[in-house]
Every structure is written in C-alpha cells, then in structure tokens.
Amino acid sequence: MSTRVSEIAPTAPPVVRRRRSIEGGWKQITINRAFLLPAIVVFIFLFIIPLGQGFYWSLTDFTGYSTDANFIGFANYAEILRDPSMLSSLSFTVLFAVGTTVLVTCLAIPLAVQLNKAFFGRNFVRSLWFFPAVPSMAILGLVWSYILSPLPSGVFNTLLNDWFGIDSVSWLSDNSLARASVILVGVWAQVGWHAVLYIAYLQAIPSEYYEVAKIDGANARQQFFGITLPLLTPAMVISSFLLLTSGLKVFELPYTLTNGGPGFATYTITQSLITSGVGQGRYGLASALAVMFTIVVAIVGFSQLKITSSIGRRFS
Amino acid sequence: MKSRTLRAVALVAGASLALVTAGCSAGSASDDGSTTISFLSWTGQEQMKPILEAFHEEHPEVTVKASYSPPVAEYIQTLQTRVLSGTAPDVFVIAAENKTNLIDSGAVIDLADEPFMDGVQEFNLDTYGRDGARYGLSLSSWAAGYAYNKDMLAEVGYDGIPETWDEFLKMLKALKDAGHTPFLESVDQLPTTVSAMLGAKTSEMEPSLDEQIFSGDSTFEDEWTPILEEYNKLFTEDLVSSDVVALDGDQVRDEFANERVAIINAGPWIINAVQEANPELNWAFGQVPGLADGKPYQAGAAAPGYAISAKSDEAKQKAAKTFLGWLASEDGVEMFHEATNDVTVTENFEPQVNPVFESMVEPIRGGELYLPMISWQRKEDLLNVEVVAQIQRMIQGQISAEEVAAALDAKLAGS
C-alpha cells in the first residue's frame, strides 16, 4: 500500500478567480510598482549595463591598459571556439556541476532525515557536517592537495599503506581519479550545508501526515517516498539551482587542488577566463568568454528551473 | 527657500572641489622645492620601509609615498586598474606579466639614457627593453637549478650534479637502485630542466631561439622536440614517477627537507624553509646538466624592474629618476640586497648569499639565465598554460614530445 501526500493532505480551498481590476485603480498600481524601482535600478546598473559593456568589449581587442581598443568583430569568439582546451574546460565544468548537484542532492536528503531525528549530540553532529561549508574552497583545496597527494607520504596513501598494505594511489595524477577527487571534495564541502537547508524544510512538514500514514500502515520507506520526498520538492528546486549555478562557476577548488591538471583534465571555464583572459590583459577575449559563459549558465539555469518546477507540479 | 537651497548646494560643491583639489595636490611639486611621488611597491612594506627611509634621509627634497600590493596577480590587477583610470603611480614595477601591455600602451618612459642604468647587468636591462629602449631598472635576478642531498649522492659515488644529461640519468638509476627516490620536479610550471636546456641552446644561437620562432624562421617543433625527448627519458626510463604532474613546488620541497628524495628542482626561495625544517641537512645547489651538444645551465630571469609613469608631470618624473638613481647606487643596492636577500646584479656591489646557493651566483650575475615565458614575444601566458598542460600529458604517456611542440606552434599560430 502506498500513501501519497496528495491522498492525505487536506483539500485545498477552491481558487476564487479575481477580477483584473484592483481596488484603488491605476494610482494604487503605480504606487505598488514604485516599490519595485530600487530592485529594477539595481538590476539595470549591476547586471544589464555591465553585461552590455562586457558584450561591447568582447568585440574589441581591449587590453585593460588603454581605452583605445579596436573593433575586431567576433574574432575573440572564433578564437575561443578554436581552442581545444576550451572544450576540455567546458566538459569538466558541466561534469562538475551535474556531478556535485546529483551527488549532493542524493546524499543531503537522507543525511537531513537522519539529522532531523532526535539523538544525543545532534546539534554537535549537525555542526560537524556544516563545518566544511565555512572555510573557503581555496583553503579546502590546498588542504586536500596534501591529503590526496599521490606521493607515498600523502595522508590517504600513508593510511592505505599502513592499514591495508596498498601501494600509493595516483589520486591527483591520473585524469579520471583527479576528476573524481575534485568532484568528491566538492560534494564533501557542500553536502552539510544543503542538508541544513533540507532540515529547515523537513521541520515544516506537519507530523500529522506521518501519523495518518502510520495508521494506514505505511512503513518508513513508504513514508519517505510518499510524504517526505514530495514535500521536499521546493527545497530540492532551490538546492539544485544553487548547486548547479555554483558548480558552473567553480574556480577555487580545482585551481588549488589540481591547478586544472593533469593536462586539461580538471580545467574549468572560469579558470580559462581568468588565466587566459584577465591574467594576461586580454580583456576582449575574457569578455567574450564571460558572455558565452553567461549564455550557457542562463540556458542551464532556466532548463533546470523548468525541469524541477514540472517535477514539483507532478508531486503537488 | 529655493535660493537658499541653491546656495547650500553651491557651497557643498565648492567645498568638495576644494577637497578634491587638495587631494590631487599631494604628489606634485611644492613651493619649497620638495616633491612627493607615489610608488606602488611589489616588495612588502617591512622590506621596503628602511630603504625608503634611507633614501629620504639622503634626498629630503623627495618624499616617496608608497603603497603596497603583493605579487603577482594582485599587483598586476591593481596597477592595471590605476593605469587605466589615469591614477598610475609615478614609480611602479614592470614585470614579465605586464611588460608587453605597459610598453604597448605607452605607460612607461624610456630610461636608456639615464646614467643610473649604466652599472646594471645588460641581461636585466634587455629583459625590460624593446628596440633599444629600456623601461625598467632591474637590480637583481633569480635562478633555479637542482637542490641535491650531498649524503645521498655520496652514497652512490657522486659529489655533485654531473655536467652531462646522460651521466645524470646514470646517477638517478644508481640512486634508485640504492633505494632512494632519485628525483622530483614539480610540473605545475614549465619544468626547470626544460627551461635550462632551452637556455643552454639559445645561448649558442644568433638570432636567439625565440627570435627565430616568433619571426617564423623556425618552429617550436624544430627547436623544442629534441629537448623534450631527452627530458621525457626521466619517465620513459622509469627513473621518475609520473605522479609529479600533481605536485607543486612546496610538496617537492617538503619531500626534500624530510630526506625522502635525493634531488629536486628549486631556487633560492626554498633555502629558509628547508633549513628551518631540517637544519642538519647536508645539501647544495647545482646547475641543470647539459645535453651532448650543450652545457650546464639554469632557469631564471631578471627580477621585475622599477619603471616611471609616462603620465607623471616633469617635476615628478625628475624626482622619480632621483629615486631610481639612488636605488641603483652602491648604498641603495646594498640596502636592497639586505632587505630582500635577492642576488643583485649591479657592478657597484658584490652580494653575499647563503653558502648552499653559492654555485649559482656567478651564472646569475653573468646573466646566464633563461625563462621561456619572459623571452617569448607575445601570448606568453597562453603559451605557458598550454606548454604546462601538454608536458603533463606527455609525462602521462598520452602524447609524444613532438606533439607537445606542435601544440605550441598551433597555439602561436592562432593569434
């Protein structure tokens, strides 16, 4: 027997269709909309104008030292698309963003369910899981570079050798292992923070739902899939959106852990933007990269919102 | 009411203008003949402060207002922003990373005819020069070679780094057979070995290796492939682990300080850390061995130079030249050496260095140094990122030495 939240949730009140006209007329509408002005101004000045300027500079050979830049059309874009390291950085960036999003979501929800139960030292354990989200990713990357050092003196390799007699593992010097290591450290660093986000939503689920389900004979698994998971959909939308956008912008962790290597195995788009563009005063090229990156992030972000909101509608 | 408001606005505007004007006047020549110049230092405040105080004592007519920004990325970014916004400091540092942009944008003045440039090593002046003009006063140089554990080498019958590459490979094999990790070289930058071997090669060429490549008379594939093939023997002959692709300089240094490896690539920056970690270590520096047709050499470059802003007015440029002139004097160079521990390269002062580094002083002061990134004429950072990544792939056995060099040609052609 399966118990779904839709079956046990109280019936929603009928939606009353309201007329478009609002009390107070156009004057009231204007006043209401005036409250949006600060947000609109901020959006225009901090997003639209810089984006427009970025696009303008992407069509020039602007070096950052002189405003006498020459218009060179889409040459910067062509150079980026010809660069094989760009394809590598794009593929790893997407792999990192999708990998961390899926893994963190799969781990943070069960972790949140466990941390939401009453047990001795619960707050301490919650803090322990949350702690990796406090230091910057750059510091975590440096620390993990010593832990995952492929040398026999690396922390993991020493433990493997001392405890199991296993030879040194090339954690960061093998392409596949290096990619996996960066993703797993990223997951480790973020899973606690997202578990706390899920705990907040878990605590908003009325306990009556579980009581009714128990009366109906639902076991723990059925309660999780029938009540908990559907009611966590809004949290999943927020969490996965945050994970995906931060994953696409990832820079510090792979930069400090592997410096984009070996080869271009863990090279990211933002690293490419900073080292190939800003780092050598090729602001035109960096702007082109930023414009392309914004488009990719927008496409991925909107797609993710569309997918998760349709999943949310199915469960609601 | 309205006119009162207008008067208040006018008053505030006037006061603001006065304040701005007063702010702008800092740094220009005063009526008493003294001049204040601004200086953006790459060297830290602790090291630079006594130098500036000594200068002011000797030249009270010039006051240097210093601000500090740490190298490299943050300094380059700060300076770039100030140059673009028209607030460039009167004296600042020209480095490998910004020299092309500073020279191309006309942000620095030519110092070639200044008398204080006369006693400086030609190699340093050329590094920050173009077409006969000299834009930076570089007082010191650095070099990287091999740091070696004397006891481990003695164990297999060697008293130093051999002069030839073949003999060096033999020594590594002997060290490995004796149960030591023979050699570690971080590959997060272009390997010291490759830079030094290229340096030995270009020192015998006229025009230089890079002039030939960047003019189109030669290619990376022609010039680099034989050297990369020799370097790759470290890995194909299983003398060094391919794990080095994941190591940085600090990890390699720690292995050396803890006597877990016999030889590493290193420069003077490891001396304090190694001696602090293991004061008993018996070690020294040596040059990178030469190939069959080459000679022992070292990677290295001229330290960043001091440049004068082209946007500064005449009085401030004159004061800035006084400052640079004092820096290049015997007293100035001595103070600079004491504060920074850099190996200075001027004729008027003989620097004293840590005994472990003594063998490298002569090549440094003789300008026998080479670093591709500084010698490359364009796309330096792009080529550097590419070469590091491609060499890592070669070490992993994914591509050949020839393919590494061909990738550089492709990157250069993609301008």
Question: If DSSP codes are grouped into helix, strand and coil, which group holds residue B265?
Answer: strand
Is residue B388 within 8 A of residue B245, CB to CB? The reply is no
Is residue B294 within 8 A of residue B184, CB to CB? The reply is no
Q: Is B243 on the interface with A (CB under 8 A)?
A: yes
* Tens-place pLDDT, residues B309-336: 999 999 999 999 999 999 999 999 999 9
In chain A the first and final C-alpha atoms are separated, in Å, by 20
| Upstream peptide bond of A134 is cis (omega within 30 degrees of 0) | no
Phi and psi at residue B245, in whole multiples of 5°?
A: -65, -20
Q: Is B152 on the interface with A (CB under 8 A)?
A: no
Nearest CA in chain A to B88: A65
- Region A235-247: mean pLDDT is 90
Preferred mutation among A62, A151, A179 to probe B, highest tally of B CBs within 10 A: A151
Nearest CA in chain A to B413: A79
Q: Could you please report the per-residue DSSP string of B315-375?
A: HHHHHHHHHHHHHTSHHHHHHHHHHH--EE-BTT------GGGGGGHHHHHTT--B-HHHH
Is residue B159 within 8 A of residue B210, CB to CB? The reply is no
Helix (H) or strand (E) holding B145: strand B140-149
pLDDT band per the 50, 70, 90 thresholds, residue A20: low
Counted across chains A and B, CB pairs separated by less than 8 A come out at: 101
| CATH number belonging to domain A85-315 | 1.10.3720.10
* Tens-place pLDDT, residues A244-256: 989 998 999 999 9
- Region A209-235: mean pLDDT is 90
* Tens-place pLDDT, residues B33-69: 789 999 999 888 888 999 999 999 999 999 999 999 8
d(CA A212, CA A214): 5
The answer to which of A53-67, A154-168, A255-269, B317-331 has the lowest mean pLDDT is A53-67
**What is the distance in angstroms between the Cα of B101 and the nearest Cα belonging to chain A?**
7
Q: Which residues pair with B66 in a beta bridge?
A: B39
Question: Pick the residue with more confidence: A17 or A286?
Answer: A286
SS3 content of chain B, % helix, strand, coil (to 5): 50, 15, 35
Q: CB count, 10 Å around CB of B302? A: 27
Q: What tokens were used for B298?
A: 């070292």
Closest Cα partner for B210 from B373, B385, B407? B373
- The answer to whether the Cβ–Cβ distance between B385 and A149 falls below 8 Å is no
Nearest CA in chain B to A276: B382
- Find residues 42-101 of chain B whose CB sits inside 8 Å of chain A: 73, 76-77, 80, 83-84, 97-98, 100-101
Q: Is B403 on the interface with A (CB under 8 A)?
A: no
ipTM above 0.90, yes or no: no
Q: Is B206 on the interface with A (CB under 8 A)?
A: no
| Upstream peptide bond of A262 is cis (omega within 30 degrees of 0) | yes
If interface means Cβ-Cβ distance under 8 Å, which residues of chain A face chain B?
63-67, 79, 82-83, 85, 145-146, 149-151, 153, 168, 170-175, 178, 258-264, 267, 275-276, 278-281
pLDDT of amino acid B31: 61
- The answer to whether the Cβ–Cβ distance between A151 and B255 falls below 8 Å is yes
Preferred mutation among A62, A142, A143, A173 to probe B, highest tally of B CBs within 10 A: A173
- The answer to whether the Cβ–Cβ distance between A168 and B83 falls below 8 Å is no
d(CA A143, CA B364): 35
* Domains and their CATH numbers in chain B: 34-139+303-346 (3.40.190.10), 143-301+368-413 (3.40.190.10)
Question: If DSSP codes are grouped into helix, strand and coil, which group holds residue B305?
Answer: strand
Residue A21, exposed/middle/buried by CB under 10 A (0-12, 13-18, 19+)? exposed
> E-strand spans in A162-307?
none
d(CA B29, CA A307): 66
Q: Could you please report the per-residue DSSP string of B161-183?
A: --SBHHHHHHHHHHHHHTTS--E
**pLDDT at A110 exceeding the cut of 60:** yes
- The answer to whether the Cβ–Cβ distance between A263 and B392 falls below 8 Å is yes
Q: Is B398 on the interface with A (CB under 8 A)?
A: yes
Is residue B360 within 8 A of residue B141, CB to CB? The reply is no
**pLDDT at A221 exceeding the cut of 50:** yes
Flag residues of chain B having pLDDT under 70. Answer: 1-32, 415
